[in-house]
Structure 1
Amino acid sequence: MAIVKPFKAVRAKRDKAALVSSKSYEVYTPEMLNSKLAFNPYTFLHVINPGYKYHKQDITGELRFKLVHNRYLEFKEDEIFFQDELPGFYIYQKITATNSFCGIISATSVEDYHNDVIKKHEGTLKERELLFENYLKNTGFNAEPVLLTYPDNDDISSIIKKYTKERAEYEFSSTDKTSHLLWVVNDKTDVAKIEQGFKEVDTLYIADGHHRSTSSCLLADRLAKENPNHTGKEAYNFFMSYLLPESQLSIYEFNRFIKDLNGLTPHEFLIELDTIFRIENRKQELYKPKEKHHFSMYLNGEFYALYLRKSLYNFTDSLSKLDAQILYTTVLKPILGIEDIRNDSKIVYSQDKSDSLELKTKVDSGEFKVSFGMLPTTISELKEIVDAGLLMPPKTTYIEPKLRSALTIYEF
């Protein structure tokens, strides 16, 4: 039984929503960021880049977090932001050239995270967990929801369909030609129906936002210990999430790029691979896998198809069947000497969504010696691994939708 709660979002007024909301801070190059800050006084980027006001953008640590809080207060004082009077859910739809995503923004339970009702599929770095916990503690808000997915539910879908037939509270397009729509659900009957619908959901799966969810839980535990009157109902016992039916989730693969062959020549490397893979040289033909346990490789100016010799590989559990794990256990670790695939500087990852020639171009540039591609992980694989209590290797899934910041803001 999943616990979801309505909340009183802080958000922009209707006429400024398009100007205020932004992509996640990390996706902007310095040039893009400066352009946004210079020409849009309403962008939320001013809040999370507070040093711009003082022409000093290298402010870090707790001082930066406190200034973020100050800029946030200014947006509220200038009435760019307001807080809804009634608690509600927020239906958000994102429409791109190829996909449409429609789910519910809500407050989700820290207790559910601790009780494994909310499950993760990737490990997190302690340093990043603590950094974001400190950010939340100092700023007092979260502006970007965690992406959770759940099995499709007819009762929840019926509420979403009801509202999406009406005029949206927000309706705007961003410069990447994506449409964004937001509906406010604060009718008590519909709020109760949504809460009840999720009580029928056994498990919520974290699709994106592992560090944000973990940090929110760390903060909740910390604040609970500091509060002698803790009841479990305080705002810090929940974190903001975007709940999306799993049928709408889009999963793409990450390519792997390796900077050296661990002392081997290309010929010697191919001989090592021949032990566990059947290898076909595709020359200049672009090869992309069409089946699980098949891999593409670009080496020394040529494409190769690698087919796992299943008779020589031991499938022990759901994780061992995952292509990203197979590549690690058969190639990256034993042959190329990459033990720590999260932190080793010899390996670089890039999501394979648009540039199908990336495997070739990055190696031909001389920056890398070899590259590997594979099929995307399926939602069924993800759930099977998670339900078994296992974690996937880093950079196994590139999941969409990517969510905007400051469409709704959750205060602690």
Structure 2
Amino acid sequence: MPLIRPFAGLRPVPERVEDVTAPPYDVLNSAEARERAAGKPMSFLHISKAEIDLAEDIDPYDPAVYAKAAENLKKLVDDGVLIREDQPRYYVYRLKMGDIVQTGLVAAASVKHYDTNRIRKHEFTRPAKENDRVAQIEALNAQTGPVLLAYKSDNEIDGLLNQVAEGAPLYDLVADDGIGHTFWIVEDQAITDKLSAGFDAMDAIYIADGHHRSASASRVAKTKGGSDDDMSHYFLSVIFPHKQMKIFDYNRVVTDLNGLSKDDFLAKVRECFDCEKESAPVKPAKSNEFGLYLDGEWYRLNINPELVSDDPVARLDVSLLADNLLGPVLNITDPRTDPRIDFVGGIRGLEGLEKRVDSGEMAAAFSMYATSMEDLMSVADANEVMPPKSTWFEPKLADGLVSHVLD
């Protein structure tokens, strides 16, 4: 059973790709999606966020939403906006955001290898979000949102992808957010075979983002039954070399100091951290270092080295902050559910943290050093789970460039 395989993609005709391509379904709420898709009848948001075509007060999980998504997908096919590949193909997908350039392979990944943990996970999933993706896949008979995967960088595979990318692209566009999306079809059968063999030789590949999409694909495969070789037992993925992938910091803000005065709070912080006031915003430059913004001032925190273990989860910066400050000092013991904590993607900058605190909405903010891909893979290899909100990947994959039909 291959780890990955080519598939007959459903994709836009080139002259319509800019009309179709949209941000991923989970980065916009319904109101934002409605605004973004206004006047754009071919936008893939009409499929990924089909509630925008129904009453504004409709529950996005209402069965009518999934039925509308299927109707909208069928219309794009019937109108010739989306076409089906005449044979199974791999695709090469390059993302560009500023200095970040990553070139990966679009493929169908095996549910069987996901179930047996050769496609490795690092997050828990939530039933409601899984149910949503299951309903979407079943309504469309297709997976339209790719799972972001990583492989340990391999010179031969990296070279094959770059070789394809030297040719003329099928699509080359810059989205509204300035991110470049370039897309090639792998037409050389020899390259296709080498890519398949190269991935089959790997011990594992890793989910970076898309745990709910992959979990839902597994559930759909079980419902459909049939052979592990059926296309319904594979899921849409884009696989990048880990050295090219960028994880941004995922910062924390808290609503209060757990009844402590500023001085008492800082005294408790100093029990586990070296704490020095700084004259400028603190963006941590290394692991085990944190920034603290409190009462209009920045502090640099360095955790006492003896508190850092070799455990792949406990040594993560997000764990060190949770285990030595958020929990014991602020009594935030479950960041996943506690309403007193919120999370701010590092792409918003340190100004985003200052704004939340200066407005009075939050009492303090913590800037984090970004989790590394090596740390993510170590956690997954240990069959462990990372703390919530440990990673923020940019740039994001686009929806609509290619979909995976299950038959």
| Coarse TM-score class (shorter-chain normalised) | over 0.9
Cα 1:48–1:207 shift into 2, 3 Å? closer
Normalized against structure 2, the TM-score is what? 0.94
2:224 match: 223
1:176 match: 177
Name which of 279, 288, 294 aligns with 1:293.
288
Give 1:145-160 correspondences, 5 Å limit: 145-160=146-161
Name which of 234, 237, 254 aligns with 2:233.
237
**Over residues 222-248 of structure 1, what are the superposed CA-to-partner deviations in whole Å (9 max), with x where a residue is unaligned?**
222xxxxx2222121100100101111
2:17 match: 17
Percent identical: 28
Give 1:4-403 correspondences, 5 Å limit: 4-28=4-28, 32-53=32-53, 58=58, 60=60, 61-224=62-225, 230-282=226-278, 284-311=279-306, 313=307, 315=309, 317-403=311-397
Alpha-carbon shift at residue 262 of structure 1 (Å)? 1.4
Name the SS for the 1:137 alignment partner: helix
Deviates more, 1:354-363 or 1:367-376: 354-363
- Work out the CA distance in 2 between the residues paired with 1:70 and 1:223: 22
Alpha-carbon shift at residue 54 of structure 1 (Å)? 5.6
Alpha-carbon shift at residue 270 of structure 1 (Å)? 1.3
- Work out the CA distance in 1 between the residues paired with 2:251 and 2:51: 36
Name the SS for the 1:357 alignment partner: helix
Aligned length: 405
Deviates more, 1:257-266 or 1:35-44: 35-44
Query: Contact (CA 8 Å) 1:101, 1:401: kept in 2 or not?
Result: no
Query: Contact (CA 8 Å) 1:121, 1:382: kept in 2 or not?
Result: yes
Name the SS for the 2:92 alignment partner: strand
Alpha-carbon shift at residue 65 of structure 1 (Å)? 0.7
Alpha-carbon shift at residue 310 of structure 1 (Å)? 2.3
Query: Contact (CA 8 Å) 1:296, 1:374: kept in 2 or not?
Result: yes
Deviates more, 1:155-164 or 1:79-88: 155-164
Cα 1:50–1:306 shift into 2, 3 Å? closer
Name the SS for the 2:125 alignment partner: coil
Query: Contact (CA 8 Å) 2:123, 2:385: kept in 1 or not?
Result: yes
Alpha-carbon shift at residue 138 of structure 1 (Å)? 2.1
**Over residues 346-380 of structure 1, what are the superposed CA-to-partner deviations in whole Å (9 max), with x where a residue is unaligned?**
11001112422333221111000111112111112
Alpha-carbon shift at residue 147 of structure 1 (Å)? 0.6
1:366 is matched by which residue type in structure 2?
G
Normalized against structure 1, the TM-score is what? 0.93
Name the SS for the 1:39 alignment partner: coil
Alpha-carbon shift at residue 21 of structure 1 (Å)? 0.9
Query: Contact (CA 8 Å) 2:96, 2:395: kept in 1 or not?
Result: no
Cα 1:268–1:135 shift into 2, 3 Å? same
Query: Contact (CA 8 Å) 1:2, 1:203: kept in 2 or not?
Result: no
Cα 1:54–1:221 shift into 2, 3 Å? closer
- Work out the CA distance in 1 between the residues paired with 2:378 and 2:51: 45
**Over residues 228-281 of structure 1, what are the superposed CA-to-partner deviations in whole Å (9 max), with x where a residue is unaligned?**
xx2222121100100101111001111100001112121221121121112212
- Work out the CA distance in 2 between the residues paired with 1:79 and 1:177: 28
Query: Contact (CA 8 Å) 1:62, 1:135: kept in 2 or not?
Result: no
Query: Contact (CA 8 Å) 1:129, 1:212: kept in 2 or not?
Result: yes
1:38 is matched by which residue type in structure 2?
A
Cα 1:318–1:38 shift into 2, 3 Å? closer
Cα 1:24–1:337 shift into 2, 3 Å? same
Unaligned regions of 5+ residues in structure 1, if any? Answer: 225-229
Deviates more, 1:177-186 or 1:75-84: 177-186
- Work out the CA distance in 1 between the residues paired with 2:158 and 2:282: 39
**Over residues 40-92 of structure 1, what are the superposed CA-to-partner deviations in whole Å (9 max), with x where a residue is unaligned?**
22211222344555665625422211111111111111111110001000111
Query: Contact (CA 8 Å) 1:48, 1:68: kept in 2 or not?
Result: yes
Name the SS for the 1:267 alignment partner: helix
2:346 is matched by which residue type in structure 1?
D
- Work out the CA distance in 2 between the residues paired with 1:155 and 1:264: 57
Query: Contact (CA 8 Å) 1:105, 1:240: kept in 2 or not?
Result: yes
**Over residues 158-180 of structure 1, what are the superposed CA-to-partner deviations in whole Å (9 max), with x where a residue is unaligned?**
32122211111112222223322
Name the SS for the 2:33 alignment partner: helix
Alpha-carbon shift at residue 100 of structure 1 (Å)? 1.2
- Work out the CA distance in 1 between the residues paired with 2:274 and 2:52: 56
* CA RMSD of superposed structures (Å): 1.9
Deviates more, 1:40-49 or 1:392-401: 40-49
Unaligned regions of 5+ residues in structure 2, if any? Answer: none
1:195 is matched by which residue type in structure 2?
S
Deviates more, 1:363-372 or 1:376-385: 376-385
